[in-house]
Amino acid sequence: MKKFGLAVLVGGFLAAMLLSASAFAGPLAKPVSKNPEAQKLIDQAWALDHTDSNAQLYKQCMDLIEKADKLDPNNPAILTELSRYYWNYGDSLPKVTKEQHKMLEGIYGKGVAAAEKSLALKEDSGNHYWWAVNKSASLEFSGKIAQATAFLSIKKHSDWVQDHDPTYYYGAIGRLWSEILVRVPKVVVEIVRWNVQEAVDDINNAIKEEPRYLDNYCYKARFFWKYYEDKGEALKDLDYELKQDPNILPGELSANKVSQRDARELWKQITGKDYPNK
């Protein structure tokens, strides 16, 4: 009887922990509109977004949300969603030529503008976060001084998210800063005297809060490989991710599958070999 009681207690505790994790580290919220036609467009984009990840898909989602914005102007949730799709679309496009860089800056500029309009209507974690993402992306191909100058403004927005909703979008702040540090030259990090350990802590905390959201492992692996040149840590995280069932997190099956696809590509970049199917 005592063993049974202990088992129930432990089981209840673990269940509570899982529920607590889900409550804190959750998915993005779908925008809500009082305009039925706008809501239909949002629903279409949302359904499409949960099937895959590529430029064509994100362009369709972006177009749908732009139409929703025209039907329901000054809806902060729609504007935040629009900001997100501008970044998703831009980040999935080629980034090789100067012409492509210029086009991307325009797309990310629209993302910043949408986030700013949303912020003016109702401040929340979403518009702060996607402002920071689009702003940092818009400066990826800029000069070192421009990049260094932007660090504090980006940090201001990311700090707002950390202060009000630290596990927003499964710990998205950890992904934001790990990726920024991957994409800017190290000299920029040195110029601003950035605390790189904070980015390490953020991505580790994101994994701790919701270990079933697999993209955090991929971001961490890329961060450790590119910034620290630590192949061992990178491969360890990729190996863990690739051994997981992508359906481990209900509602994020597509996101986990996409992340595992990216993880396989990253594994091959690091090792020169395909990930072994065991």
Token pair, residue 169, equals 């979008």
Is position 152 within any domain? no
Is position 248 within any domain? no
Token pair, residue 163, equals 């202060």
Is position 233 within any domain? no
Q: How far apart are CA 50 and CA 33, in angstroms?
A: 20
Is position 168 within any domain? no
Is position 148 within any domain? no
Token pair, residue 268, equals 């091959």
Q: How far apart are CA 222 and CA 230, in angstroms?
A: 10
- Distances 250 to 213, 257, 262 between C-alpha atoms, Å: 10, 12, 20
User: In CATH, what number is assigned to the domain containing residue 45?
Assistant: 1.25.40.10
User: What's the structural domain count of the chain?
Assistant: 1
Is position 135 within any domain? yes
Q: What angle do CA 76, 79, 81 make, to 5 degrees?
A: 110
Residue type, 219: Y
- Distances 238 to 141, 217, 231, 233, 235 between C-alpha atoms, Å: 28, 7, 10, 9, 5
Question: 189 and 231 in contact (C-beta within 8 Å)?
Answer: no
Handedness of CA 241, 245, 250, 253 (dihedral sign): positive
Is position 250 within any domain? no
pTM, 2 dp: 0.90
* pLDDT per residue as tens, the chain (278 positions): 333 343 333 334 333 333 333 334 689 999 999 999 999 999 999 999 999 999 999 999 999 999 999 999 999 999 999 999 999 999 999 999 999 999 999 999 999 999 999 999 999 999 999 999 999 999 999 999 999 999 999 999 999 999 999 999 999 999 999 999 999 999 999 999 999 999 999 999 999 999 999 999 999 999 999 999 999 999 999 999 999 999 999 899 999 999 999 999 999 999 999 999 75
Which residues constitute the domain of residue 129?
Answer: 30-141
Q: How far apart are CA 218 and CA 45, in angstroms?
A: 25
Tell me the three-class secondary structure of 206-269, residue by residue: HHHHCCCCCHHHHHHHHHHHHCCCCHHHHHHHHHHHHCCCHHHCCCCHHHHHHHHHHHHHHHHH
Is position 232 within any domain? no
